[in-house]
């Protein structure tokens, strides 16, 4: 074991050991009470007016992690929480409105003695299956697993062609329950040169619901990372975290979910990489207008489905991924809608307009009840 390896291992161990002491959680119960960071650049004012309130700010909720990843809103009862990973600290945390921060799952990506041979042994991307169970990309276990509601876990997939996966990174479900996931080697200490690497490629896979053998749908992308589907599930978007090819790729999909033809470079981030801005193309989400919210060098880029840049969230630290979610507004007595950002050592958020939430984001029961009450009130007023 060389000195560099000892340093990497020591950082991971120390980060996990000092977790309760090192986190700084900012307190806030209403808009604009959290510290803000960065700036919002609006290139198409008319388009952006449909997405963001004029006074929107990027807020910092928590600081002190090593590297935050995989944000996901999880609804329960009339509220919910924001789950997110730290692959280095090997935990999944939960930030809940009005309650704050807690550890949701310890040893989230690796529970065996070989964890120390990984640069990032923990979990990364998170998603919910149709049953509302947490689906986890596990670097150290080199698999994708489901956390069942009784607390047990089961492995969905851990190999392709009888060879172990690399370190599964991000994932997205189709509406029929099929699962796309990316499998780069970022969790390994030596990354591409790791002796643990068995796959000859960094693949993008399709795992059909109920099956155990994945289909390799994209074998030749250099460094696949974040993955998302267009609203109609006719296109697959894959971010490429390669400084020599920092692209967002778009792939047309057949009805059965397989890829049709080659990739289209939807957005090229080479200019931003050349400026030395922190980060590379990473996580992404789609909104109700089919716009793409893509993390990359210098922050988050908001693109139309055609790849036109309409706005950006300019930030000084790297942003890994984003997710839609909520928070309670005490001042106005209602739920606000947010884009949550896992950004370097931070958990951040940006208030957005509620109409941009795509259909797959679960609505809170309290929001549905309020909408119904408003509709009933309007009907009553019209009768009068």
Partners of residue 98 on adjacent β-strands: none
When pLDDT is averaged across residues 200-215 and rounded to a whole number, the result is 97
When pLDDT is averaged across residues 348-357 and rounded to a whole number, the result is 95
pLDDT recorded at residue 367: 54
55-97 per-position pLDDT tens digit: 999 999 999 999 999 999 998 766 899 999 999 999 999 999 8
Q: Using 50, 70 and 90 to split pLDDT, how confident is the model at 328? A: confident
Beta strands of 272-345 (E only): which ranges? 284-286, 292-296, 299-303, 309-314, 321-329, 334-343
Whether the per-residue pLDDT at 1 is higher than 50: the answer is no
Q: Using 50, 70 and 90 to split pLDDT, how confident is the model at 201? A: very high
Whether the per-residue pLDDT at 375 is higher than 60: the answer is no
When pLDDT is averaged across residues 167-192 and rounded to a whole number, the result is 97
pLDDT recorded at residue 22: 58
Q: Using 50, 70 and 90 to split pLDDT, how confident is the model at 366? A: low
Whether the per-residue pLDDT at 370 is higher than 70: the answer is no
Mean pLDDT of the chain: 89
pLDDT recorded at residue 3: 31
pLDDT recorded at residue 18: 39
* Residues 204 and 218: beta-carbon distance below 8 Å: yes
pLDDT recorded at residue 379: 43
6-53 per-position pLDDT tens digit: 233 333 333 443 344 457 777 655 555 799 999 999 999 999 999 999
- The percentage of the chain sitting over the pLDDT mark of 90, rounded to a whole number, equals 78
Instruction: Check residues 367 and 212 and name the one with the higher pLDDT.
Output: 212
pLDDT recorded at residue 365: 59
When pLDDT is averaged across residues 224-247 and rounded to a whole number, the result is 98
Partners of residue 82 on adjacent β-strands: 73, 95
Tokens found for residue 135: 């689906």
Whether the per-residue pLDDT at 369 is higher than 50: the answer is no
d(CA 319, CA 298): 8
Residue with tokens 């922050």: 299
DSSP 111: -
Q: Using 50, 70 and 90 to split pLDDT, how confident is the model at 377? A: very low
Least confident of 49-53, 193-197, 326-330, 365-369: 365-369
d(CA 238, CA 247): 9
pLDDT recorded at residue 202: 98
pLDDT recorded at residue 5: 30
119-171 per-position pLDDT tens digit: 999 999 999 999 999 999 999 999 999 999 999 999 999 999 999 999 999 99
Q: Helix (H, G, I), strand (E, B), or coil: what is residue 376?
A: helix
When pLDDT is averaged across residues 284-294 and rounded to a whole number, the result is 98
Least confident of 4-18, 27-41, 179-193, 230-244: 4-18
pLDDT recorded at residue 28: 57
Q: CB neighbours of 20 closer than 8 A, spacing ≥ 6?
A: none
244-257: burial string, b at 16+ Cβ within 10 Å, e else:
ebbbbbbbebeeeb
pLDDT recorded at residue 359: 87
Residue with tokens 């990984």: 118
d(CA 87, CA 12): 9
pLDDT recorded at residue 181: 98
* Residues 331 and 30: beta-carbon distance below 8 Å: yes
pLDDT recorded at residue 151: 93
pLDDT recorded at residue 32: 52
């Amino acid at each position: 074991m060389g000195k560099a390896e000892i340093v990497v291992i020591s950082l991971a161990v120390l980060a996990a050991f000092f977790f309760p002491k090192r986190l700084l959680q900012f307190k806030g119960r209403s808009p604009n009470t959290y510290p803000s960071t960065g700036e919002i650049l609006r290139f198409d004012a008319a388009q952006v007016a449909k997405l963001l309130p004029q006074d929107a700010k990027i807020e910092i909720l928590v600081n002190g992690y090593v590297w935050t990843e995989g944000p996901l809103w999880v609804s329960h009862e009339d509220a919910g929480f924001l789950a997110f990973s730290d692959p280095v600290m090997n935990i999944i945390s939960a930030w809940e409105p009005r309650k704050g921060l807690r550890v949701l799952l310890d040893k989230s990506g690796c529970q065996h003695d070989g964890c120390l041979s990984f640069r990032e042994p923990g979990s990364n991307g998170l998603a919910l299956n149709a049953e509302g169970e947490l689906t986890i990309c596990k670097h150290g276990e080199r698999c994708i697993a489901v956390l069942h509601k009784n607390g047990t876990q089961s492995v969905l997939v851990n190999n392709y062609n009888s060879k172990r996966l690399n370190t599964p990174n991000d994932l997205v479900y189709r509406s029929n329950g099929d699962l796309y996931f990316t499998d780069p080697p970022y969790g390994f200490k030596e990354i591409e040169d790791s002796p643990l690497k068995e796959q000859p490629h960094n693949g993008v896979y399709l795992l059909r619901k109920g099956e155990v053998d994945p289909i390799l749908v994209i074998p030749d992308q250099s460094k696949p990372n974040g993955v998302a589907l267009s609203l109609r599930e006719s296109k697959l978007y894959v971010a490429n975290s390669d400084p020599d090819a920092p692209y967002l790729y778009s792939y047309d999909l057949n009805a059965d979910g397989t890829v049709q033809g080659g990739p289209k470079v939807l957005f090229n981030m080479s200019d931003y990489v050349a400026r030395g801005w922190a980060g590379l193309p990473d996580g992404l989400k789609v909104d109700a207008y089919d716009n793409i919210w893509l993390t990359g060098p210098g922050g988050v880029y908001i693109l139309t489905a055609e790849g036109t840049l309409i706005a950006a969230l300019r930030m000084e630290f790297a942003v890994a991924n984003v997710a839609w979610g909520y928070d309670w507004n005490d001042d106005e007595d209602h739920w606000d809608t947010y884009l949550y950002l896992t950004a370097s050592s931070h958990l951040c958020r940006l208030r957005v307009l509620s109409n941009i939430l795509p259909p797959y984001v679960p609505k809170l029961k309290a929001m549905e009840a309020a909408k119904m009450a408003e509709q009933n009130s309007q009907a009553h007023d019209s009768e009068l």
